Chains A and B, each alone.
Chain A
Amino acid sequence: MSLTVILDYGSGNLRSAQKAFERAARERGLAMEIRVTANPDDLRQAERIVLPGVGAFRDCRAGLEAVAGLRETLEAEVITKAKPFLGICVGMQLMADLGREHEVTQGLGWIKGEVRAITPCDPNLKIPHMGWNTLETQTPHALFKDIPLGPKGLHAYFVHSYAMYCARDMDCLATTDHGGPITAAIGRDNMAGTQFHPEKSQTLGLAFLGNFLEWRP
C-alpha cells in the first residue's frame, strides 16, 4: 500500500489532518496509508510527504531542526527524489527563503520569496485573517482540478497573520483577498503549499487533498 506521511515535528493538530487525508483517500477509492511520523526512515519509504505547521515561523523551523536527520532527509526526498510534497499553513511558509515573523528566520529556500506580516489597505480589516474566503487562480494547477474557484466558487478556511510573498509570479498558484491579494497556494515542480487549511475546508479541502493524493507531477 502506498504511503503518505504527515511530518510530526511538534507543530499542530495532526490528528485532524490525518483524518482528512484518510477521508479524501476513501472518497477517491485509493488504498493508501496515512502515517503521522517524525521518523526519517518513514520519509524514505513514503510516496508523498506533507508538512503541516501552526504557530510561529521560527518555532516551526526550530522544531524541524530538533529531530535528528529530519530536515536533511526531507530535502533529499523532496528535492533530489522529487516526491510529491504539500506544505500546509506555516508548513507552506517554511518553503520560502526567509520569514520575517518577529525576527528574520531562514526558511527551506525551495520557493523564492519571503513571509511577511499582512498589511491590508483597509485598516478596519481584522488580523489574523481568520475564516472562510474564496480563491482566485493565478497559475492553473492539477491540485485545483475540478474545484470551482473565483468569487462564486468554493471557500477555504484561513487563519494567519503572515503571508508568503512570491518572488516569481508563476510560483503563486492562487490568491485570496483581504484588503489586497494574499498568497493562498504556491507550487513548482513536485512541490506545493497552501496558506489555507485544506483539512478544515470541508468540500474544497477534501477535493484538494484527493487531488494531491492522485497528483503525478
Chain B
Amino acid sequence: MLKARLIPCLDVKDGRVVKGVNFVNLRDAGDPVQIAAAYDAAGADELCFLDITASHENRGILLDAVRATAEQCFMPLTVGGGVRTLDDIRRLLLAGADKVSINTAAVTNPDFVTEASRKFGAQCIVVAIDAKRVDDKAWEIFTHGGRKQTGLDAIAFAQEMVKRGAGELLVTSMDRDGTGAGFDVKLMRAIADAVTVPVIASGGVGTLDHLVAGVKEGHASAVLAASIFHFGTHTIAEAKAYMAAANIPVRL
C-alpha cells in the first residue's frame, strides 16, 4: 500500500540553508548536505529545496548544493524557486534533482509546463500553486512569493496544470503559510478531489495534528513542513509515529 509522504522543506539562499535546523550533532546548520543527510537518516520520505536566492548570478551555487546533496542522499529531492526555462530544469536534473517545482512561470507561461512535461516526463514536473482564500469555496492564485494577484481561480488552474502534464501539485495556502495555524484543509481537499495527480499540502503546519488533518481532511498524498522540524519542535520520527497512530499509512 502506498504511504502518505512527509516532506521537510528547506529554504536555500546562495547555497546555504537559511532557517536554523535543530539537529543534534550538526556541525554546520547551514550546510544543505549535512541537513539532507540528517533528514535522510531520520526517515524523511522526500526532501524539498526552495531556492530563495535573490540574484540570478548566484544560481550556480544552488546547483553545487544540489549536486553535493544528491551524492549523499538516497531519497527523492525536489528543487523549486525561479525555474523558468527548459534549460533551468535540465541543469537541476543533471545536478541531481529528481523533480523540479514550477511556480510563477506556470502562471505567466502555461505552455512551459506542457513543454517541460513532454521533454522531461510528468514524473519530474511539480507545479507549485500559491493560493489565497476568496470565500469559503474559492481561492485565487498568487505569484512572486504571494505578492502578485492573478485573478485566476485556484481549482480551475490546478486542473489545467494537470491537463498540461504536471505530475504532482504542491499547494500552499498563503493565508496560513508561516502562521502555524494548520493547513487550509478546505483548499487542499477542493484541489485534491478535483485532480487525478497527488497533492502535497503546504503552509501553516504548527502541530502534529495539522499533518494528520492534511491527509485525512485535506485528502493530500503528502504533507510538507518547515518550521516544526527546523526549530526542533518535533522530529520526523515523532511526526510519523503520530500519523501512524491516527491510522494514516506511513513508512516507519
Contact of A130 among B70, B121, B167 (CB under 8 A): B167
Contact B93 A128 (CB under 8 A): no
Given contacts A130-B167, A157-B75, A205-B74, contact A13 B122 (CB under 8 A): no
**Residues in A neighbouring B5, C-beta threshold 8 A:** 131-132
**Residues in B neighbouring A106, C-beta threshold 8 A:** none
Contact A206 B74 (CB under 8 A): yes
* Count, A-B residue pairs, CB within 8 A: 98
**Residues in B neighbouring A59, C-beta threshold 8 A:** 121
Contact B221 A126 (CB under 8 A): yes
A116 vs chain B, min Cβ distance (A)? 16
**Residues in A neighbouring B95, C-beta threshold 8 A:** 15
- Cα distance, A197 to B121, chains bound together (Å): 15
Q: Does A100 contact B (CB under 8 A)?
A: no
* Size bin of chain B's contact surface: 35 or more
* Size bin of chain A's contact surface: 35 or more
Q: Does B251 contact A (CB under 8 A)?
A: yes
Contact B124 A126 (CB under 8 A): no
Contact B198 A19 (CB under 8 A): no
Given contacts A133-B1, A155-B3, A200-B74, contact A128 B122 (CB under 8 A): yes
Contact A19 B2 (CB under 8 A): no
Contact B3 A202 (CB under 8 A): no
Smallest Cβ-Cβ distance to A134: which chain B residue:
B1
Contact A55 B120 (CB under 8 A): yes
A-B contacts, 7 of them at CB < 8 A, read A55-B121, A131-B45, A132-B45, A158-B2, A161-B123, A200-B75, A200-B76
Query: Which of A's residues lie within 8 Å of B, judged by CB?
Result: 12-13, 15-16, 19-20, 23, 54-56, 59, 125-134, 151, 155, 157-161, 177-178, 197, 199-202, 205-206
Query: Which of B's residues lie within 8 Å of A, judged by CB?
Result: 1-5, 40, 45, 67, 70-72, 74-76, 93-98, 118-124, 167-168, 196-198, 221-222, 251
